């Protein structure tokens, strides 16, 4: 569900909202060690208490009121342990991270801490003593890391958005492998206070979501200057660019590591940009890729050692072999090596800034390939390096970036691209992304799954006797509204169970309350087959003027039926009927 859909439920039916969140939490706790998505999660009792407290608050004062979210377990949340993927390292923070505090101040509820590559070191999602987070598109494949659990929590349907971190691509690779949006904002506009550092000078707090609109909302509520963070920056966003030119890598720059499906998907996406009117030009990305090599081949590996190296040396048998090998490799850097690398980086940055004067944005694959868990286990360093080919340079060159889900390959695996630009172009990138990304909704096996909005007015509404038929096919409640004043409403008491009949009558009609549900198109036939005459399906008009599929009733069936148009809702009629029965 999206933020908007959850808020709709919160506003229109608080008890259903509450039960939805509690059932969700029970499932998380039940599958904690099966899915390996969460390292820790709120108990149901604690969540009940947090939900009940929302009753006394208003959306005007708390714009994210009651919205559940998940947080990567290297970001502090008060009331949870912070483990960074290592139990022996864990501690209880005295307060939440600055970014989490901003969201909680807006009314959001953190329901759990998510799994990660240990000490946020890796792009694979398999370097955790807490197991490998489930990739719902294909369990044989890696979920992407290091923010693996934060992505999987959304794919599983547990939360509408989550927080991760991104130093070398950890906010983008999991998004690419799980068909999500992943925003790596400009360094410093989202404070990293309360984040266990990987490379403190490069770290960013990332945002994952199913919808671009949700990414925007979360960014809006997490960007604030933090005087306690030495790397915090004011969010001075650039004005919207009028440039329509998009730069892509030259063919010689591209690397798909043998993945023909990803190569084909990328080619198709570039062609779609041209059809949408963008001027797409090939550019030599070599300076960016050379800069990427500095992240692990230069002195920044020493920054990882600075963060947790001493702990690892004192607890070598408690840290995963690959993680230990990478971080301890930064123990003895030379100062002159730092300056040598810094000068090289400044040269690459100058070239990039010159490029940026001409282009609205840059586009390339988020990852050149995806690997199975088995493949990563056999060659953990090389394949992880392959995954960072397109991602490692962006924080070094001070870019803003967003990973977009754009295709599902023929072998049913997600493919995405990254849209990036210089710092403070986050808003521009989000605007561009809206025209570029046509995200398909997918089920957990990777099969394309379209949705149809369906309006219901009787027993299929939330809490109704037939509501289970919608839930059984994976339908999701969206909102409650009224029809245009063009319908008459009848009680079909002869049906079992009794249900209403909606008949169009433009001259004598009125507004009738309906709920709109999002129904999987491929399962709509199953649902329709459960509905008998005289009910049928057609288009009705909502009070907004929008047309939506709905139940209708054939005219012959209402000749002797009781008209209940004046009541406007089926629930009022049921309540009235029950009262009469009690009296009789």
- How sure is the predictor about 66, in pLDDT bands with cuts at 50, 70 and 90? very high
pLDDT at residue 241, rounded to an integer:
67
The answer to whether the CB of 112 falls within 8 A of the CB of 40 is: yes
Does 442 map to a domain?
A: no
pLDDT tens per residue across span 528-537: 877 778 888 8
pLDDT at residue 450, rounded to an integer:
66
pLDDT tens per residue across span 469-493: 887 777 777 888 999 999 999 998 8
As a whole number, mean pLDDT of residues 543-561 equals: 88
Percent of the chain with pLDDT over 70: 96
**424 shares a domain with 485:** no
Is residue 193 annotated as a catalytic residue, yes or no?
no
- How sure is the predictor about 94, in pLDDT bands with cuts at 50, 70 and 90? very high
Greater pLDDT, 142 or 275: 142
**287 shares a domain with 181:** yes
Give strand pairing partners of 126.
none
pLDDT at residue 582, rounded to an integer:
47
Give strand pairing partners of 510.
487
Active-site pick, 18, 40, 72, 187: 72
Where in the sequence is the domain holding 460, given as residue range(s)?
A: 451-583
Does 445 map to a domain?
A: no
**470 shares a domain with 414:** no
Does 376 map to a domain?
A: yes
Write down which residue in 436, 470, 492 finishes a domain.
436
**461 shares a domain with 364:** no
The answer to whether the CB of 108 falls within 8 A of the CB of 67 is: yes
pLDDT tens per residue across span 200-217: 999 999 999 999 999 999
Is residue 146 annotated as a catalytic residue, yes or no?
yes
Does 441 map to a domain?
A: no
- How sure is the predictor about 432, in pLDDT bands with cuts at 50, 70 and 90? very high
pLDDT at residue 9, rounded to an integer:
87
As a whole number, mean pLDDT of residues 435-450 equals: 56
Lowest mean pLDDT among 61-65, 172-176, 336-340, 357-361: 336-340
What are the distances in angstroms from CA 314 to CA 89, 248, 303, 308?
11, 46, 18, 10
pLDDT at residue 565, rounded to an integer:
94
**489 shares a domain with 390:** no
**221 shares a domain with 182:** yes
Does 215 map to a domain?
A: yes
C-alpha to C-alpha distance for 213 and 210, rounded to whole angstroms:
9
CATH of the domain at 515: 3.10.490.10
**410 shares a domain with 277:** yes
- How sure is the predictor about 393, in pLDDT bands with cuts at 50, 70 and 90? very high
pLDDT at residue 133, rounded to an integer:
97
Does 325 map to a domain?
A: yes
pLDDT at residue 449, rounded to an integer:
52
pLDDT tens per residue across span 115-157: 999 999 999 999 999 999 999 888 999 999 999 999 999 999 9
CATH of the domain at 146: 3.90.1300.10
As a whole number, mean pLDDT of residues 393-398 equals: 97
Count of domains for the chain: 2
pLDDT at residue 583, rounded to an integer:
42
**417 shares a domain with 287:** yes
As a whole number, mean pLDDT of residues 278-304 equals: 91
**483 shares a domain with 373:** no
**313 shares a domain with 188:** yes
Sign of dihedral through CA atoms 568, 574, 579, 581?
Answer: positive
Write down which residue in 394, 413, 436 finishes a domain.
436
Write down which residue in 436, 462, 488 finishes a domain.
436
- The answer to whether residue 581 scores a pLDDT higher than 50 is no
C-alpha to C-alpha distance for 290 and 247, rounded to whole angstroms:
18
* Structure tokens belonging to residue 323: 């993680």
Is residue 170 annotated as a catalytic residue, yes or no?
yes
Active-site pick, 128, 148, 152, 170: 170
* Structure tokens belonging to residue 216: 């925007």
Active-site pick, 128, 146, 147, 400: 146
The answer to whether the CB of 512 falls within 8 A of the CB of 552 is: no
pLDDT at residue 440, rounded to an integer:
46
Cα dihedral 573, 577, 579, 584, rounded to 10, equals 160
- How sure is the predictor about 365, in pLDDT bands with cuts at 50, 70 and 90? very high
The answer to whether the CB of 477 falls within 8 A of the CB of 538 is: no
Does 444 map to a domain?
A: no
pLDDT at residue 579, rounded to an integer:
58
**545 shares a domain with 422:** no
**457 shares a domain with 432:** no
Does 443 map to a domain?
A: no
């Amino acid at each position: 569900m999206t933020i908007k859909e959850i808020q709709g439920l919160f506003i229109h039916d608080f008890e259903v909202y509450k039960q939805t969140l509690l059932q969700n939490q029970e499932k998380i706790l039940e599958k904690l060690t099966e899915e390996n998505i969460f390292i820790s999660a709120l108990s149901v009792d604690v969540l009940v208490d947090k939900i009940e407290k929302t009753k006394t608050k208003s959306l005007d004062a708390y714009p994210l009121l009651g919205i559940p979210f998940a947080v990567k377990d290297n970001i502090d949340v008060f009331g949870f342990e912070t483990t960074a993927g290592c139990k022996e390292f864990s501690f209880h923070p005295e307060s939440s991270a600055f970014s989490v505090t901003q969201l909680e101040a807006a009314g959001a509820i953190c329901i759990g801490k998510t799994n990660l590559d240990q000490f946020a070191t890796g792009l694979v999602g398999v370097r955790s003593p807490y197991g490998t987070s489930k990739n719902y598109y294909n369990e044989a494949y890696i979920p992407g890391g290091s923010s693996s659990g934060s992505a999987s929590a959304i794919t599983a349907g547990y939360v509408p958005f989550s927080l991760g971190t991104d130093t070398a691509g950890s906010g983008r690779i999991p998004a690419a492998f799980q068909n999500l949006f992943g925003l790596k904002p400009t360094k410093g506009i989202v404070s990293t206070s309360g984040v266990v550092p990987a490379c403190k000078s490069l770290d960013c707090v990332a945002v994952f979501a199913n919808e671009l609109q949700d990414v925007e909302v979360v960014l809006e509520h997490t960007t604030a200057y933090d005087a306690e963070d030495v790397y915090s920056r004011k969010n001075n966003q650039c004005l919207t660019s009028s440039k329509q030119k998009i730069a892509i890598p030259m063919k010689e720059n591209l690397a798909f590591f043998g993945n023909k499906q990803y190569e084909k998907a990328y080619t198709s996406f570039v062609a779609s940009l041209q059809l949408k009117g963008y001027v797409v030009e090939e550019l030599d990305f070599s300076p960016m890729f050379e800069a990427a090599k500095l992240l692990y081949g230069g002195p920044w590996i020493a920054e990882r050692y600075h963060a947790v190296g001493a702990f690892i040396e004192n607890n070598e048998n408690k840290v995963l072999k690959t993680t230990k090998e990478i971080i301890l490799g930064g123990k003895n850097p030379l100062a002159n090596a730092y300056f040598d690398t810094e000068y090289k980086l400044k040269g690459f940055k100058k070239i990039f800034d010159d490029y940026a004067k001409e282009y609205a944005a840059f586009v390339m694959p988020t990852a050149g390939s995806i690997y199975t868990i088995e493949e990563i286990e056999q060659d953990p360093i090389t394949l992880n390096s392959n995954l960072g080919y397109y991602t490692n340079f962006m924080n070094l060159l001070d870019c803003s970036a967003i990973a977009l889900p754009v295709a599902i390959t023929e072998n049913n695996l997600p493919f995405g691209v990254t849209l990036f630009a210089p710092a403070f172009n986050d808003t521009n990138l989000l605007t561009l992304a809206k025209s570029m990304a046509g995200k398909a909704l997918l089920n957990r096996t990777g099969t394309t799954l379209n949705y149809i909005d369906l309006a219901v007015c009787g027993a299929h509404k939330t809490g109704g006797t037939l509501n289970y038929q919608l839930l059984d096919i994976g339908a999701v409640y969206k909102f409650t509204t009224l029809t245009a004043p063009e319908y008459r409403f009848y009680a079909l008491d002869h049906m079992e169970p009794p249900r209403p009949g909606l008949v169009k009558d433009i001259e004598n009609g009125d507004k009738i309350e309906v709920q709109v549900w999002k129904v999987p198109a491929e399962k709509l036939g199953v649902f329709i087959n459960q509905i008998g005459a005289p009910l049928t399906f057609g288009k009705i008009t909502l009070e907004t003027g929008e047309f939506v599929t709905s139940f209708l009733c054939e005219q012959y069936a209402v000749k002797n039926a009781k008209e209940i148009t004046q009541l406007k809702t089926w629930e009022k009629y049921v309540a009235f009927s029950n009262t009469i029965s009690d009296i009789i």
